[in-house]
Amino acid sequence: MRKKIVAGNWKMNLDYNEGLSLFSEIINMFKDEATGKQQAVICSPFIHLHSLAQMARGYNNVAVGAQNAHQAESGAYTGETSAKMIKSVGAAYVILGHSERRQYFGESNELLAKKTDTALKNDLKPIFCIGETLQEREANQHFDIIKSQLAEGVFHLAETEFAKLVIAYEPVWAIGTGVTASSEQAQEIHAFIRKEIAAKYNQQVADSTTILYGGSCNPKNAPELFAQPDIDGGLIGGASLKSRDFIDIVKVFN
Our CB check for ligand PEP shows the closer of 206 and 234 to be: 234
Pairing of strands 233-236, 5-9: parallel
Residue 35, SS3 per DSSP: coil
Count Cβ atoms below 10 Å from residue 15 Cβ, excluding itself. Answer: 10
Specify the amino acid at residue 42. Answer: I
Give which of 31, 99, 16 is closest to 61, Cα–Cα: 31
Report the alpha-carbon distance of residue 71 to residue 171 in Å, rounded: 25
Find the helix or strand (DSSP H, E) in which 226 lies.
Answer: helix 222-226
CB 129 within 8 A of CB 97: yes
Residue 116: strand, helix, or coil: helix
Q: How far is the CB of 235 from ligand PEP (least distance, A)?
A: 5
Which residue in 237, 243, 246, 253 binds ligand PEP (CB under 6 A)?
237
Query: Can residue 68 be called a binding residue for ligand PEP (CB under 6 A)?
Result: no
One of 107, 132, 136, 170 touching ligand PEP (CB under 6 A): 170
Name which of residues 2 to 21 contact ligand PEP (CB under 6 A): 9
What does the DSSP 8-state code read for residue 3? Answer: P
- 171 part of the interface to ligand PEP, by CB under 6 A: no
- Of 186, 222, 235, 247, the one binding ligand PEP (CB under 6 A) is 235
50 is an active site residue: no
219 sits near ligand PEP (criterion: CB under 6 A): no
Residue 150 interacts with ligand PEP (CB under 6 A): yes or no: no
Q: Is 98 a catalytic residue?
A: yes
Looking at beta carbons only, is 22 or 217 nearer to ligand PEP? 217
By the rule CB under 6 A, 248 interacts with ligand PEP: no
Select the residue whose beta carbon is closest to ligand PEP and give its number: 237
What are the beta bridge partners of residue 40? 6, 62
- Rule CB under 6 A: which residues touch ligand PEP? 9, 170, 175-176, 214-217, 235-239
